[in-house]
Chains A and B, each alone.
Chain A
Amino acid sequence: MGLKWAFAGLAAAGLWAGTAAAQDIVIPNIIELSGGGATVGAMWKNGSSMAVEEINAAGGILGRKIKLEFVDTASDPGKARAAMQRALDDKPVAVFGPIYSGSVSATLKMTAEAEVPQIMGGEAGPLTAQGSKYIFRTSFGQNVSMPKIANYLRDGIKAKSVAVVFVNNDFGKGGRDAIVKELGARDIKVVADVSTEAGQADFAADVIKVKGANADAVFVYLNEEESARFLREAKKQGLNKPLIGETTLLGQKVIELAGDAANGVKGHVGLTVDAPVPAIQEFGRKYEAKYKSKPDHNGVKGYIAPYMIKAAAEKAGKLDGKAIAAALHGLTITPDKVPGILIEATWDESGEIDRISFLGEVKDGKQVITETLPKLKK
């Protein structure tokens, strides 16, 4: 009796082997829907859903419709692993996510073993350096963005010393390690190395530490709301050094949350809705109309993921994970053929993305692009 129930339960939970083949292509999204990464995960979910709707409305991929499935990692790499195992048991064509680098790091061996392309949102440098042929970025890794920041600090700001403020999670710590290495290579001294907590409210002590260090510039690498709180406190205490950031710090969300305090912030922007590219601005408008909030770069990351699969599958001519991964290596997707890719992007053999990026600053509550940096390899 109890046993029968147990088996029925196992079957219901899909733990039992042998499921029916579905008509639609199901792509599982193993993403952060609760816990510390919930904000990021919600953006990704909206972005990828929007892209899939567009693709399906235009006839799908090779005549088949896509269906996204969203699985919560609770921002916990162990749970991400479990969710990934479950997704891979169904032999999907591809998987999306996770977005937190720790969770990507915990799952990338599994997708490589199962030969399923993994389009993920992690930015930690080492993710693409582990020899997986199935991992693909949707944004610059910190190994690409941090050298750009370091160059900007050396050439644009002419800084000899820098204070680094980072959030002590896998996003912030990875970025901090990368920038410290790059600054060292350029003989720029790191005079303060301030670790902050995810969800931290009071930044008074952190700003005092930064002020005391008296650096030529401050590199701020925090999540959205912590960036805003830091900027407000910096303004309050009259911190008058250049505040330099990477993508997040100059993002629309931080500007909205920090108000005046965001003015004057400068830095490198990997992909932004305010980029002087009509396709991206159009994406921003569509997103805002649909979800009543402004997208950030995580929304863009989620949005281009389905288009990457579409372009690669069409190049390979079949919906097969191995073929899609092979097709993505060395593939350049251009917006005139696949408008959803937004700007021309190329993936190399390690899954690293290459595309143009921007230098910008915040003026009068708006992100202004001052310079467009070309692709690394032409």
Chain B
Amino acid sequence: MIKNLLTCTLACLLLLSGVAKAVTLNVMTSYPQPVVMVMQQAFEEAHPDIELNILWRRPHDALSLLLQEESADVDVIWMPSVRTFLSLKAHEKLAQLKLNREGLPILLGETAISDPQGYFIATEIAGYGLFFEPEKLKQAGLVVPNQWQDLLAAEWQDNIALPIPSEVSFAHMLIDQLLQAEGWQTGWNQWQQIAANSHLMGRGGMFTTEAVLAGQAKVAFTMDFFAATSIANGANGKFIYPKQTAFNPAHVGILAKSTQPEAAHTFVDFLVSEQGQSLLLHPDLRKLPVRPSVYSEAPNMQNPFAGNILHQYDYQTGLQRREYNAVVFDAAITMHHDKLKQAWQQWHQLQQNANADQRAALAEIKTVLQQWPLKEPAMDEAIVQDCAQRHDDDEKQQNCEEFKSELAQSFERQYDKALNMLAQFNAKT
């Protein structure tokens, strides 16, 4: 019987082979291999008549290619990059989607995560938060933070892993969400102080979550899926969203000049279907579904659509000044990190045992440390534009570099001044 069945199966497979040559759908993505692998395999099994040809590009490279008049033969764009989708839509490169949107909210809180006009749709979201090992935090006498500002305190010195926005792309939005929530100067002052407690993490090295697992930090700024995949793969860690945070949506869209619109819609439908959304729960993915009904399958995953996490973020503002912010971060923090750390560490130490007079003097030093020479820029300001386009234009690159250099010198003078004041304070006491 088994033999007969097997023979039949084999024969059927042989019959199927070569019966219908699959349509090839060119999909441009910036997702890593595990995401592509899980989705591609499931999609091709569900739709054997469509074969995905994956064209991988980083978002800025994908955008630059797709904006060219004679761009590559791409049918679908699928990646976590709001900027890419907004720009493609603005350049009329996307086709309007014909989808059944039932069960797929456009808004998260008050923020739209999908294009209201239907040119692109969210496929998953990822939020910012903190990763730590509860036991190690307890051993170090540290209390689990529940807001970003908790990390300003002296006890977090050398205990935080913080990504550098000019090197780690997810950090752009992390930085800006605090600026948007707290205001320009307060937000930057908080980042200065948090950074003074932090190990700065750059490109190509360990993930911030790994810095925690390796014992180099007690808490890491990260995105939920980095933490969740780490935990799903065996790490003894925990992730929390602070009271106020931001969520970054990933999208899919169909190129207006796609020659395979039907197959493209099949793929888009699949990504946002119950099946496609459930695949996001795979231990190597752990992305937040945009179809709220899927959360019932994931009791350990917080559902941001339930309204328990405060999310207010203006993507346009964040996108327009992301490169500018990265330059400011480097000038104010990365380039003088040692001095910034030293100054804040000394300040905290002296503050602990200071009397009232001394506290007044220390308050003055704090004011110097927190002087912020930049007003919140208007989005059409030339330097914001120059920094935004610095990778594509030599002149703009030069302008942005000059701005960065002057700003860095200004911050260095400021930190030197604070350090001198701290030295004098020490000498007196």
A, B bound: no
